[in-house]
């Protein structure tokens, strides 16, 4: 059956279309060229010039896995009983959450209602990947995928400290992608999570790890080179050293140079853009960071915008979260060392607009957004739930698109913070085309989803239809229609059909001989068999709802 979206006003940066009115034809979940007149059209939606974009892709959102579930357990006070309507009530119990700790059903439903059709879990501990996939498998409506964490695992640190050749490292990285069913590689506080286990409390970029005698810079070099040489699309996803520390912008600038010009993605860069100026020794270094992004074309970044209110921070960075636990609100937190593989820290936070640091964090994120020239290299994230729940994206989009709205919000901030920000001097207002770039075309390109994030012939028919409104928050909060793989799943902001999406992976070729050493390591030091560490396609597909979509690389 063919579905026709008639008179669509298409905003599709990947295909350089900015408001072109055209018809879109869908068959078997894909966008097709205009069919012959003889072919039967099953369903017609006359859009009368409504805005049409590809489904949005969240390239960094903590939607599943150990620390997310710990956050749910830790914070029963976020849960509320809700009266749900079909079809959501069909698969979701009465407990639906405050959106900082959504259950898996809630996650999928709230994303699709905003026109998002995919989200990527950016911090999958390799040893915890099975759990992450189980949770993502129970997340309806959207496609999923993840980045596996390396760079604090003892196997890798041993390789590096023993001067293993780059090929061995490449094979291990590729093996990890296969074993964990992920599509990218992340490094969190390079070396720092491991160093914390040796009672170190800070790990600087050029400081030797106390046990392995290698630097984070060396870890970044090896991993970014591996990711590049095995040929996956997604550049190394880097959570820099010194998250949240005043003055950390210098670490961030130095990190940009650590890959020797190879592509590198710096994540939640807002948390890494702090200076030490002013009476409070905490200032915005957004201008320095944005300038560096603008001039270093190999660098991409997502922002990790904070928004005011209660949330919870869930990070692999247990070293820095252990420090942050002192300011937890409510006053409780979980810090874990995990399996000689990584760690995690879950710390609830309440960001307040009258708090100097929080107010400035808010401004810093927006300064970065508005000062980076190229929307293909800066991504719209709140680092859900760390800066704010993903449900606040429509609000964030309005802050970017509406200067008056932004400045009104700025005027309400802590006065000392206002004095330390140049936000009001930034006149830029994002266009719909730029928003579509940073939420659709650019994340698809970055992750290597060739058939997503655009509306060209052959693309998956993940499509969102909006009514253009002056109030962009209202516009992006409630699309008119959302199609997932060609099926109409949301109407007037409400889910009308439950679908389950798929899991996207990258499985580059590698020398399977690398397994011999890995198996020896498991047998000698681990508490599980190497074979049980590996996740098969069948495990992803079990319970019948999920399946793997592997993306050819290179």
Partner 1 sequence: MTNQQDSMHACPACGLLCDDISGDAIARQQFSCGKAAKFYARVSTGAQPQIAGRAASLTDAVAAAVAVLKQANTPLVAGSSTDVHGARALVRLAQQTGSAMTHMNASSTLRNMKVLQHRGWQTTTLTEVRNRADVILMIGTDVVTHNTRFFDRIVWVDDAMFTDPAARKIIYLGGDKLSTKPGVSPDGRAPEVIACAAEHLPEVVATLRALVMDKPVTAASVAGIAVSTLKTLADTLKAAKYATLVWVSKDLHYDHAELTIENITETVVALNQKSRAMGLSLGGSDGDTSVNYAHTWLNGVIIDAPEWESHDAVVWVNSYSPDAMPPAGTGPVIVLGAPDSQFDATPAVFIPVATPGLDCNGQQFRVDGSVTLPLTAAKPSDLPTLSQVVALIEAQLQGDLA
CA-only gyration radius of the chain, Å: 23
CB of 90 to partner 1, least distance (A): 9
Please, what is the minimum distance in Å from the beta carbon of residue 464 to partner 1?
A: 26
Compute the least distance from the CB of residue 79 to partner 1, in Å.
5
Provide, rounded to whole angstroms, the least separation between the CB of residue 462 and partner 1. 24
CB atoms within 10 A of CB 280: 14
Cβ proximity to partner 1: between 2 and 336 the closer is 336
Question: Closest distance between partner 1 and the C-beta of residue 160, in Å?
Answer: 15
Smallest distance from partner 1 to CB 193, Å: 12
Q: Which is nearer to partner 1, 6 or 197 (CB)?
A: 197
Query: Measured from the CB atom, is 97 or 283 closer to partner 1?
Result: 97
Name the one residue in this structure whose structure tokens are 């849960």: 79
Shortest Cβ 477–partner 1 spacing (Å):
22
Taking the C-alpha atoms of residue 453 and residue 443, their distance in angstroms, rounded to an integer, is 7
> What is the C-alpha separation between 332 and 535, in angstroms, rounded?
33
Peptide bond connecting 385 to the previous residue in cis, omega within 30 degrees of 0: yes
Distance in angstroms (rounded) separating the CA atoms of residues 126 and 392: 29
Name the residues that contact partner 1, by CB under 8 A: 64, 66, 68-69, 72-76, 79, 91-93, 95-97, 101-106, 125, 127-128, 130-131, 134-135, 138, 154, 178-179, 197-199, 211, 322, 325, 328, 331-341, 346, 507, 524-529, 531-532, 534, 536, 539, 542-543
Q: Are strands 487-491 and 494-495 parallel, antiparallel or unpaired?
A: antiparallel
Residue 427 vs 538, nearer CB to partner 1: 538
Q: CB of residue 343 vs partner 1: minimum separation in angstroms?
A: 9
Measured from the CB of residue 321, what is the shortest distance to partner 1 in angstroms? 10
Sign, Cα dihedral of 348, 351, 356, 359: positive
Tokens of 42: 């099953």
Q: Closest distance between partner 1 and the C-beta of residue 533, in Å?
A: 9
Peptide bond before residue 87 is cis, with ω within 30 degrees of 0:
yes
Beta strands in 29-173 (DSSP E): 30-32, 41-46, 51-54, 56-58, 79-81, 95-97, 116-125, 143-149
Rounded Cα gap, residues 8 and 479, in angstroms: 14
Q: How far apart are CA 107 and CA 40, in angstroms?
A: 37
Please report where in the chains the tokens 């550049």 appear, as a residue: 235
Q: Which residues have a Cβ under 8 Å from the Cβ of 36 and sit 6 or more positions away?
A: none
Give min distance, CB of 392 to partner 1, in A.
Answer: 19
334 with 348: CB under 8 angstroms? no
Please, is 276 exposed, middle or buried when counting C-beta atoms within 10 Å of its C-beta (0-12, 13-18, 19+)? middle
Nearest-angstrom CA–CA distance, 42 and 490:
18
CB of 194 to partner 1, least distance (A): 11
Is the Cβ of residue 127 or residue 233 nearer to partner 1 in the bound state? 127
Question: CB of 344: closest distance to partner 1 in angstroms?
Answer: 8
Cβ closer to partner 1: 176 or 259?
Answer: 176
| Angle between helices 166-180 and 514-525 in degrees, nearest 10 | 70
Which residue number, 411 or 542, has a Cβ lying nearer to partner 1? 542
409 or 548, CB closer to partner 1? 548
| Pairing verdict, β 342-351 and 309-315 | antiparallel
Residue of 147, 89, 56 lying closest to 380 (CA atoms): 56
Q: Which is nearer to partner 1, 196 or 376 (CB)?
A: 196
Write the CA distances from 393 to 324, 383, 513, 548, integer angstroms.
25, 11, 45, 28
Joined together, the tokens standing for residue 402 give: 């509406």
* Nearest CB to partner 1, comparing residues 350 and 491: 350
First to last CA, the chain: 34
> Which residue in 446, 509, 470, 469 sits closest to 167, CA to CA?
509
Instruction: Give the nearer residue to partner 1 in terms of CB position, either 217 or 526.
Output: 526
Sign of the Cα pseudo-torsion (7, 9, 14, 16, in order): positive
- DSSP class of 209: P
Smaller CB distance to partner 1: residue 347 or 368? 347
Name which of 342 and 380 has its Cβ closer to partner 1: 342
**Per-residue tokens: 90:** 């069909």
The Cα 254–Cα 247 span in angstroms is: 12
CB of 420 to partner 1, least distance (A): 32
CB nearer to partner 1: give 65 or 190. 65
């Amino acid at each position: 059956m063919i579905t026709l979206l008639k008179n669509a006003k298409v905003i599709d940066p990947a295909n350089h279309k900015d408001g072109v009115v055209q018809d879109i034809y869908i068959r078997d979940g894909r966008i097709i060229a205009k069919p012959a007149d003889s072919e039967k059209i099953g369903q017609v939606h006359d859009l009368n010039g409504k805005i049409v974009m590809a489904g949005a892709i969240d390239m960094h959102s903590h939607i599943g896995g150990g620390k997310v579930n710990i956050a749910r357990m830790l914070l029963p006070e976020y849960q509320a009983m809700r009266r749900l309507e079909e079809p959501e009530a069909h698969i979701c119990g009465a407990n639906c959450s405050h959106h900082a700790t959504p259950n898996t059903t809630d996650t999928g439903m709230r994303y699709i209602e905003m026109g998002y059709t995919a989200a990527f879990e950016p911090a999958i501990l390799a040893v915890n990947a099975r759990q992450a996939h189980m949770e993502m498998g129970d997340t309806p409506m959207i496609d999923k995928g993840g980045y596996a964490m390396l760079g604090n695992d003892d196997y890798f640190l041993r390789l590096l400290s023993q001067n293993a050749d780059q090929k061995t490292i490449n094979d291990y990285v590729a093996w990890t992608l296969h074993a964990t069913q992920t599509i990218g590689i992340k490094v969190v506080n390079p070396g720092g999570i491991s160093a914390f286990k040796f009672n170190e409390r800070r790990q600087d970029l050029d400081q030797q790890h106390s046990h392995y005698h290698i630097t984070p810079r060396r870890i970044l070099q090896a991993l970014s080179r591996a990711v590049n040489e095995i040929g996956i699309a997604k550049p190394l996803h880097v959570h820099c050293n010194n998250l949240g520390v005043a003055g950390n912008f210098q670490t961030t600038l130095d990190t940009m140079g650590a890959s020797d010009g190879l592509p590198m993605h710096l994540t939640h860069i807002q948390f890494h853009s702090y200076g030490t100026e002013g009476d409070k020794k905490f200032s915005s270094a957004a201008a320095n960071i944005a300038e560096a992004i603008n001039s270093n074309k190999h660098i991409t970044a997502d922002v990790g915008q904070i928004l005011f209110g209660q949330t919870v921070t869930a990070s692999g960075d247990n070293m820095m979260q252990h420090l942050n636990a002192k300011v937890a609100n409510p006053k409780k937190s979980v810090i874990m060392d995990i399996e000689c593989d990584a760690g995690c820290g879950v710390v609830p936070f309440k960001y307040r607009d009258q708090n100097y640091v929080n107010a400035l964090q808010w401004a810093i994120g927006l300064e970065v957004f508005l000062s980076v020239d190229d929307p293909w290299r800066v991504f719209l994230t709140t680092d859900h739930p760390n800066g704010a729940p993903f449900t606040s994206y429509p609000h964030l989009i309005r802050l970017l698109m509406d200067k008056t709205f932004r400045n009104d919000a700025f005027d309400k901030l802590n006065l000392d913070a206002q004095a330390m920000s140049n936000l009001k001097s930034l006149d830029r207002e994002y266009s719909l085309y730029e928003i579509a770039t940073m939420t659709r075309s650019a994340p698809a390109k970055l992750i290597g989803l060739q058939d997503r994030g655009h509306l060209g012939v052959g693309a998956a028919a993940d499509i969102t239809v909006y009514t253009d409104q002056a109030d962009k928050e209202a516009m992006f909060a409630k699309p008119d229609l959302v199609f997932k793989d060609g099926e109409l799943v949301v109407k007037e902001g409400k889910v009308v059909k439950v679908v389950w999406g798929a899991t996207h992976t990258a499985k580059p070729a590698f020398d399977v001989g690398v397994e011999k050493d890995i198996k020896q390591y498991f047998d000698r030091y681990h508490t599980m068999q190497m074979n049980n560490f590996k996740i098969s396609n069948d495990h992803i597909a079990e319970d019948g709802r999920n399946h793997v979509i592997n993306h050819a690389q290179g």
